[in-house]
Copies of this chain bind each other. A is one copy, B any other.
Amino acid sequence: MSKFDKVKYDEMAKIIKSMAHPTRLFIVDELSKQDHCVCELTEMIGADTSTVSKHLAVLKNSGIVQDRKEGNNVYYSLRCSCVLSFYQCVRDVISHNVEDQLKLLK
């Protein structure tokens, strides 16, 4: 019988946790289309720059995005595009949930 290897699952959870926030999901979604600097993302999100910067730090720290300096700006880009598979799965789960809701109404 399998045993719970906490160290292994802690490390995996850290990566998934970094995606588990609406603002960070939005950021990754945008970066999948095109690189953006902090001020562009801040503008789209409508939060404090420091808040957006901290969200980017979380994504960078888990290895999902990377950054480069260009003049005054710091541009962020996707480092591991495999995270985009999360979006398709999440859509599948949601539509499966909706189907079940509909069945209940009948």
CB neighbours of A2 from chain B (8 A): 29-30, 33, 44
Identify the closest chain B residue to A33 (Cβ).
B2
Q: How many copies does the complex hold?
A: 2
A90 vs B62: C-alpha distance when bound (angstroms): 10
Q: How far is the CA of A75 from the CA of B6 in the complex (A)?
A: 23
Count of interface residues, chain A, beta-carbon cutoff 8 Å: 47
Question: In the complex the two chains form, is A63's CB within 8 Å of B93's CB?
Answer: yes
B93 touching A3, Cβ below 8 Å:
no
B22 contacts A96, C-beta separation under 8 Å: no
Which A1-19 residues sit within 8 Å CB-CB of chain B? 1-6, 9-13, 15-17, 19
Partner of A16 from B6, B9, B20, B64 at Cβ < 8 Å:
B20
Interchain CA distance A26-B11 in the complex, whole Å: 12
Residue contact B22 to A19, C-beta cutoff 8 Å? no
A13 touches B30 (CB 8 A): no
Q: Is the CB of B44 within 8 A of A26?
A: no
